[in-house]
């Protein structure tokens, strides 16, 4: 039986023949140049009604809005859908936003129309989530604020109730994702290469993350067709994510638009990738030819991979603070330690903005700052730049010694001959400490 208010508002009904719930809604057909009723099918009545509701708000149907008001969460869905359709966000971000909205609906503000919500209700809602991380609280605050701001732009509200709401600080300390040290990485790599897929099923997931910098969702979404053996590259163009109900699904795009990229395969894990491809080719019930297809379901849950990594790290290495994201972070750290330019690191990691790269690896860059400054100082010394040399005469003995240590003896001797004329004892003492033995 059809549930209808009027044809101009659309309606939902159950199709007995197809055993599907249909949402019917009006839309202007540009080719036929007239209003048409479009139909979309769903498994449940709730999904059909929710779709119809979102469509009506997107089309700003005045009759529907007058009769039903503007539910806050529906306004959030409309905003998210508009951002997805205008490519401001990816499908992955859209799905995560829908998950957030589904959680908000469980609270009192999630059951109200947008014009009924007061600032104190929003503050109470945010304060009740102090157990979330600061980054999650920030995103939640931004989503709420953007929803009301959009409502003002559409003329539904005159004031933003978020204007007086303060984002609370999390009860949790911000977690710093650490990379494996060089020695830890070497031991873990040896451990993985000594094993096969039968006794370590995620070994190649860990190797790809650690030596190619892929996100865990990107690794688990890889198919055989993504591997370019001729050019020794992996093409990254999709990721695993979760839908509104928390089910693992394949997204058509990566986490960010910059996430679509091609990454070179390191020579020493080439055989491991061949091993995984052969395993997947012979695997039954794998129509998509996923590299990492579980036996009893469509896609691998990243939580299972992370749990297995933690188990291995604790049992064999006594390490308890490493996650799958740490392996990706390890790759980025090694790139910087090797002297790779930040813009190249950004492209390999699939970061949306160079600032993400710089902020993520701030501590790594800081640790190499002094060494990089020494390179500049040594260059100035060698070229005998007048203004620089005057400044260098003020260096302490230890600073002078550090400069000499980075130079060939003949270059150090030439600089020493020039600087000793200044009668600076730091230069004399440092040179003789190094070369008089």
pLDDT in tens, 76-99: 888 888 888 887 877 778 888 888
For residue 409, what pLDDT is reported? 66
Looking at residue 361, its pLDDT comes to: 66
CATH number assigned to the domain comprising residue 96:
1.10.150.130
**Total domain count for the chain?**
3
More confident residue, 195 or 6: 195
pLDDT value, residue 2: 43
Q: Are residues 258 and 407 in the same domain?
A: no
pLDDT score for 386: 45
The verdict on residue 78 lying in a domain is yes
CB-CB neighbours of 393 under 10 Å: 13
Which residues, in sequence order, are CB contacts of 184 under 8 Å at separation 6+?
A: 317, 319
Residue span of the structural domain in which 280 resides: 182-360
Same domain for 321 and 389?
Answer: no
Cα gap 111→294, rounded to integer Å = 39
Which of 124-128, 173-177, 339-343, 370-374 has the least mean pLDDT?
A: 370-374
- Give CA 254 to chain center in angstroms: 9
Domain boundary among the residues 102, 132, 164 is at 164
**Domain-ending residue, one of 317, 336, 360:** 360
CA triplet 314, 317, 323: central angle to 5 degrees?
Answer: 55
pLDDT of residue 184: 94
Does 218 or 371 have the greater pLDDT score? 218
pLDDT tier at 7 (50, 70, 90 boundaries)?
very low
Residue 205: pLDDT above 90? yes
154 and 194 assigned to the same domain: no
Q: Is residue 323 part of a domain?
A: yes
Of 189-203, 235-249, 418-432, which range is least confident?
Answer: 418-432
Say if 14 falls within a structural domain. yes
pLDDT of residue 84: 82
Verify that 114 and 142 share a domain, yes or no: yes
pLDDT over 50 at 29, yes or no? yes
Do 17 and 134 belong to one domain? yes
User: Could you tell me if 160 and 260 lie in one domain?
Assistant: no
pLDDT value, residue 382:
60
Note whether 277 and 291 are within 8 A (CB). yes
Question: What CA–CA distance (Å, rounded) separates 416 from 393?
Answer: 12
Looking at the fold, whether 186 and 325 belong to one and the same domain comes out as: yes
Same domain, 41 and 140: yes
- The stretch 37-59 carries a mean pLDDT of 80
Distance from C-alpha of 45 to C-alpha of 403, rounded to nearest angstrom: 74
pLDDT at 64: 60
Tell me the pLDDT band of 3, cut-offs 50, 70 and 90. very low
Do 231 and 290 have their domain in common?
Answer: yes
Tens-place pLDDT, residues 146-190: 999 988 887 788 899 999 999 988 887 767 778 899 999 999 999
In a domain, 171, yes or no: no
Q: Which range scores top for mean pLDDT: 258-267, 285-294, 375-384?
A: 285-294
Backbone φ/ψ region at 318: left (φ over 0), alpha (ψ -120 to 50), beta:
left
* pLDDT-wise least confident of 180-194, 218-232, 383-397: 383-397
The CATH number for 219's domain is 1.10.443.10
- Check whether residue 144 and residue 28 sit in a common domain: yes
pLDDT in tens, 150-160: 888 877 888 99
Q: Is residue 172 a part of any domain in this protein?
A: no
Cα–Cα distance for residue pair 208/210, rounded to 1 Å: 6
**Between 158 and 372, the higher pLDDT residue:** 158
**Is the domain of 266 the same as that of 414?**
no
The alpha carbon dihedral of 31, 37, 40, 46 has a sign of positive
Instruction: Give CA–CA dist 307/201, Å, rounded.
Output: 13
Q: Are residues 50 and 110 in the same domain?
A: yes
Structure tokens at 246: 């928390």
Give 251 or 127, the one with higher predicted confidence: 127
Residue-level pLDDT at 322: 93
What pLDDT score does 280 carry? 92
Q: Is the pLDDT at 117 greater than 80, yes or no?
A: yes
The proportion of the chain whose per-residue pLDDT surpasses 90, expressed as a percent, equals 29
Domain boundary among 320, 336, 360: 360
In a domain, 140, yes or no: yes
What pLDDT is attached to residue 66? Answer: 61
Q: Please say if the pLDDT value at position 434 is more than 80.
A: no
What mean pLDDT, rounded, does the chain reach? 80
Does residue 170 lie within any of the structural domains?
no
Residue 176 placed within a domain: no
- pLDDT-derived band at 256, boundaries 50, 70, 90: low
Name the more confident of 226 and 351: 226
């Amino acid at each position: 039986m059809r549930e209808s208010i009027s044809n101009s508002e659309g309606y939902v009904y159950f199709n007995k023949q197809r055993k599907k719930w249909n949402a019917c809604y009006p839309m202007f057909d540009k080719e036929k140049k007239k209003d048409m009723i479009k139909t979309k099918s769903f498994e449940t009545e709730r999904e059909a009604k929710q779709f119809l509701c979102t469509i009506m708000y997107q089309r700003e149907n005045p009759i529907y809005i007058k009769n039903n008001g503007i539910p806050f969460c529906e306004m959030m869905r409309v905003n998210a859908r508009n951002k997805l359709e205008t490519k401001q966000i990816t499908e992955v971000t859209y799905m995560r936003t829908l998950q957030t909205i589904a959680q908000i609906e469980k609270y009192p503000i999630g059951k109200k129309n947008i014009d009924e919500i007061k600032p104190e209700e929003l503050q109470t809602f945010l304060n009740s989530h102090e157990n979330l991380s600061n980054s999650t609280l920030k995103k939640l605050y931004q989503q709420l604020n953007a929803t009301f701001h959009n409502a003002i732009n559409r003329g539904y509200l005159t004031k933003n109730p978020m204007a007086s709401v303060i984002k609370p600080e999390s009860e949790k300390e911000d977690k710093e994702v650490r990379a494996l040290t060089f020695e830890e990485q070497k031991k873990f790599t040896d451990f993985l290469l000594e094993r096969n897929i039968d006794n370590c099923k995620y070994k190649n997931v860990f190797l790809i993350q650690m030596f190619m910098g892929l996100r865990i969702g990107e690794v688990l979404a890889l198919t055989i067709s993504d591997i370019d053996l001729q050019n020794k590259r992996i093409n990254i163009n999709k990721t695993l994510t979760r839908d509104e109900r928390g089910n693992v699904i394949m997204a058509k795009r990566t986490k960010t638009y910059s996430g679509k990229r091609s990454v070179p395969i390191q020579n020493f894990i080439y055989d491991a990738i061949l091993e995984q491809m052969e395993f997947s080719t012979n695997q039954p019930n794998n129509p998509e030819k996923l590299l990492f297809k579980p036996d009893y379901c469509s896609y691998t849950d990243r939580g299972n991979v992370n749990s297995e990594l933690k188990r291995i790290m604790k049992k064999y290495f006594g390490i308890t603070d490493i996650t799958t994201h740490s392996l990706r972070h390890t790759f980025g750290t090694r790139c910087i330690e090797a002297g790779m330019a930040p813009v190249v690191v950004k492209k390999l990691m699939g970061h949306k903005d160079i600032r993400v790269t710089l902020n993520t690896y701030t501590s790594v860059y800081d640790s190499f700052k002094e060494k990089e400054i020494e390179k500049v100082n040594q260059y100035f010394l060698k070229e005998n730049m007048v203004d620089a040399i005057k400044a260098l005469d003020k260096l302490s003995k230890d600073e002078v010694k550090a400069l000499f240590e980075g130079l060939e003896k003949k270059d150090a001797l030439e600089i020493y001959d020039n600087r000793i004329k200044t009668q600076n004892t730091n230069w004399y003492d440092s040179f003789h400490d190094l070369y008089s033995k």
